[in-house]
Amino acid sequence: MSTAESTTSPNPGLWDRIGTVFTVRPLTVGLALFWVWVLARWTTDFVLAGVSGFDRGTPFIPAAPFLTTADAVASLATPLGAAGAPLVWVADTLRFTADATAYLPALAHGIWTTILLTVFSVCLGFTLALPLSVVRVYGGRWARWLALSYTELIRGTPLLAQLFVLYFATSLTQVLRGVPGVGVGFVPAQAFWVAVISFTLNSAAYQSEYLRASLESVDGGQLTAARAIGLSKLEGIRYVVVPQGLRLALPSWTNELVYLIKYSSLASFITVQELYGRTSTIANETYQYTELFVLVAILYLALVVSASALMDRVESHAATAGVGHTRQ
Amino acid sequence: MTQPLLSIDDLHKSYGSEEVLEGVGLEMDQGDVTVLIGPSGSGKSTLLRCVNRLTEINSGRIALDGQDVTGAETDVNELRKQVGMVFQDFNLFAHLTALENVTLGPKKVLGMDAADAEAAGRNHLEQVGLLEQADSYPAELSGGQKQRVGIARALAMDPELLLFDEPTSALDPELVGEVVEVMRDLADEGITMLVVSHEMDFARSAASDIVFLDDGEIVEHGPPEQLFQNPTADRTEQFLSRLHAHEETA
Amino acid sequence: MAAILLQAADWLFVIDNMGLLLGGTVVTIALTVASILLGFVVGFPAGAIEVYGSDRARRVVEQIGVVLRGTPLLVIIMILYFGLSISSSAFVTATIALGLRSAAYQSQIFRGALQSVDDGQLEAARAVAMSRFEAIRHVVVPQALRRSVPGFQNEFTIVLKDTSIAIVIGIGELLTTGQNLYEGGQSTAALEIFLAVSLVYFVLTFATNRSLDRLSDYYAVPEGTT
């Protein structure tokens, strides 16, 4: 008689919901256009510009049509007086669009840096997080205590403070500047790497918490069974517990990825010209704060929504019957 | 003849294309104890839930004390003050003690002041033999105790009619007795009860009427002796023999 | 390296400026509390709308939530302060930015908690003649609030840490105070200053978690299966 209670996935499915909120077509089309533009921009500026006669950063979209339309709309608005306010707004938006055509190549470059920061930090963070979490669950008393102290200290302090410690208070920058290749050609300069190190250390702490929870939720009988077929404890962890735990932890990576996409904007405080940094540089020159920051908010949303859509794909691909995220 | 307390006439209810109740009619007088039996999916619980409008009907008429129950202008909350309900899964308010479970309705709905509600609540808990557990939370009670609190909670509203939706089917067998005993006491006190239950013990000893419902229709309706000893319909007989077989193996 | 940087003179500098750092700490706490309160006042009804609201209301609330959760706090602050100029006070602007963003997350916490309360609870409350609103208010909400404590705890520490981002509009909170001491004071003391600042944040998050644990124990109700 009574209907079964809806079961919730281990993660409350925050980003699943984006799917349900925005399954509408316009968003899919918008995202597709966004990525076509981004990829075209990168190809022209990073690959073709060096090879043939392409100019780096030349706008794809001409500004002139927007300006003429803006003038036409504005001239319609003038005789209307106060009633023409909506038209004035349209004209202003069109004028900003004309300006934006010149900013967009720089923003595409910023998106590249933001993605690099995020991907490097998540991946490097994972390589630290996995041993940390295994130590948290299976380690001896002292090892466990050390791992716990690390995660609690990182999670208990602001990312920005950690960034400042590494950037202003250590000689990491000078050390990195001395590393051959840093800042040469495609390799970003030292501030970028300070940010990567800082985000990696931070992300490792958060990821190890997700992993720990997942490892702990793998049934204890699994390790016992692994030992029973003659695997060592480490082998049992490696071949039986971790593969299951990783699948269980997948939904948390969506959160971690989204977190880093947004919080990588803090790298702008240490001069890294990622998406936010570039926007803020342009805004300080042009004073078009509202328009530019609304534009960059939309770009961040596009990145965040893309990341969660991508992770949804990964999750359904990685799900095996009974283990991990199964869709309701 | 005086007016019946509850009268149900040509009741239809369907979920989507599935018709659950296909023209059910039933009358109950003050003090009647009517037990609804029938296979699962026969519409017993739905019928019960239509009476206090936890489920809305498609067509037909339900009247309580001559007042239309299902009309659009009927205040459901006024109706539910007169019709108490005891649930299969108890549904005790998890954040409140046994006593608070019993007094919440009187305080918030009937506007009783706290002291009066508490005194009355203690009486009702005593009536179901649980005065000592007044300050326990639901998680600290056994299933049988939970259901007795559920009954006290319904009694506290001083209803004219009590609905029981399979009150013992979520209980371990050894806990059924204490709940049935409380229900039998209520029947003896003359409280009008409409009960969905396969507890034959209760049906035989306390019911004034047995109604056999199958496929959304009332197949047979009569006093317990007649319906259990000499069922007129084949379907009733088949169902009863299955039920007996089950009782013996259990 | 550490031996050179962790010098006694630099620690003395930090200790000398304890008063300033304490002032920054007070601003950080005030900003956190104000933002969490704003987040609650907006986020709780938003979560309730997501569970009980009409389709249209729910859609609107969800979409605003997605935008607020998908945008970096830095961008939200900049739009509100330099773009829309909603207030000339940096403190007020930061409170609104942090508060609205927190509301978007708090709504998710409360939505989950409200949904986790068994439907039978609402039904039983309706059966004792409570109106839908009364049933939600007296039966569902008290249980949901208790269940949202762990999520709320997490959110509290996130807001506390993220007040540091208000440095971008120059509020005299803790990290800004540290930055000023470093830039305007003794640059050799950078490590000492930022470690001291981090320590204060750590103590604050730790203390917050512990007190919310206490609060949660105090209001705890034995909860079994209902």
- Torsion over CA: B177, B178, B180, B184 (sign): positive
CATH of C2-218, one of 3.30.565.10, 1.10.3720.10, 3.40.718.10, 3.50.50.60: 1.10.3720.10
| Structure-token pair, residue B22 | 């296909």
What are the tens digits of pLDDT across the range C62-75? Answer: 999 999 999 999 99
- Amino acid A52: pLDDT: 63
B225 to chain C, any CB pair closer than 8 A? The answer is no
Q: Is the pLDDT of residue C224 over 60?
A: no
Provide the shortest C-alpha distance from residue A7 to chain C (in Å): 9
Residue ranges and CATH numbers for the domains of chain A are 104-318 (1.10.3720.10)
Give the alpha-carbon dihedral of A311, A314, A319, A325, to 10 degrees.
0
In this model, does residue A18 exceed pLDDT 60?
A: no
Query: Of the candidates C59, C74, C201, which has its C-beta nearest A266's C-beta?
Result: C74
Q: Which residues of A touch B89 (CB under 8 A)?
A: 2
Helix ranges restricted to H, chain C = 2-5, 8-16, 18-52, 55-70, 73-78, 90-116, 119-127, 132-135, 141-147, 149-162, 174-184, 190-218
Tally of structural domains, chain B: 1
pLDDT at A6: 39
Which range has the worst mean pLDDT, A276-290, C25-39, C91-105?
A: A276-290
Instruction: Give A-chain residues touching B48 at CB under 8 angstroms.
Output: none
Q: Looking at the predicted structure, is the pLDDT value of residue A181 above 90?
A: no
- Confirm whether B111 is domain-assigned: no
Q: Return d(Cα A167, Cα A267) in angstroms, integer.
A: 10
Measure C143 CA to nearest chain A CA, in Å: 17
Chain C residues near residue B80 by CB distance under 8 angstroms: 126-129
What are B58-99's pLDDT values in tens digits? 999 999 998 898 888 888 889 999 999 999 999 999 889 999
Test mutation, C63, C66, C109, chain A, max A CBs within 10 A: C66
Interface of A with B (CB under 8 A): 1-2
Test mutation, A14, A118, A160, A301, chain C, max C CBs within 10 A: A160
Domain regions of chain C by residue span:
2-218
Q: What tens digit of pLDDT does each residue of C127-148 get? A: 999 999 999 999 999 999 999 9
Least Cα distance to C33 among C195, C180, C211 occurs for C211
B105 and C CB contact within 8 Å: yes
Give the distance from residue C123's alpha carbon to the nearest chain A alpha carbon, in angstroms: 11
Closest partner CB to B108 (pick from C124, C130, C225): C130
Domain contains B169: yes
Residues C154 and C148 sit within 8 Å (Cβ to Cβ): no
Under the banding of pLDDT at 50, 70 and 90, the label for residue B190 is very high
User: At residue C5, does pLDDT exceed 90?
Assistant: no
CA C148 – CA A219 distance, rounded (Å): 26
Task: Kindly report the nearest CA distance between residue A2 and chain B, in angstroms.
Answer: 10
- Looking at chain A, which residue has its C-alpha nearest residue C188? A169
- Please tell me if residue B102 touches chain C, with a CB cutoff of 8 Å: no
Identify all chain C residues contacting A268, using CB atoms and an 8 Å cutoff. 74
- Which chain C residues contact residue A290 at CB under 8 A? 79, 82-84
**Neighboring chain C residues of A209 at a CB cutoff of 8 Å:** none
Q: Which residues does C contribute to its contact with B (CB < 8 Å)?
A: 118, 120-121, 123-131, 134, 138-139, 142-143, 146, 221-226
CB pairs under 8 A between A and B: 5
For residue range B95-154, what is the model confidence (pLDDT) as tens digits? 899 999 999 999 988 999 999 999 999 999 999 999 999 999 999 999 999 999 999 999
Chains that touch B (3 or more CB pairs under 8 A): A, C
Question: What pLDDT digit, counting tens, does each position of A215-267 carry?
Answer: 988 887 888 888 887 788 888 888 888 888 888 888 888 899 999 999 999 99
Mean pLDDT for A131-154 is: 94
Q: Do B139 and C224 touch (CB under 8 A)?
A: yes
What ranges in A156-288 are assigned the alpha helix state H? 159-168, 172-177, 190-217, 220-228, 233-236, 242-263, 275-286
Q: Does some domain include residue B151? A: no
Give the CATH number of the domain where residue B14 resides: 3.40.50.300
Give the domain extent around B172: 6-91+160-249
Instruction: Quick: pLDDT tens for A46-105.
Output: 877 766 666 677 777 777 888 888 888 888 877 777 777 888 888 888 888 888 888 888
Q: Is there a domain that residue B98 lies in?
A: no
pLDDT in tens, B148-176: 999 999 999 999 999 999 999 999 989 99
Inform me whether the C-beta atom of residue B197 falls under 8 Å from chain A C-beta atoms: no
Please report which helix (H) or strand (E) contains residue B224, including its range.
Answer: helix B224-229
Residues of A in contact with C59 (CB under 8 A): 21
> Is residue A144 pLDDT above 60, yes or no?
yes
Residue B175 inside a domain? The answer is: yes
- C-alpha R_g of chain B: 18
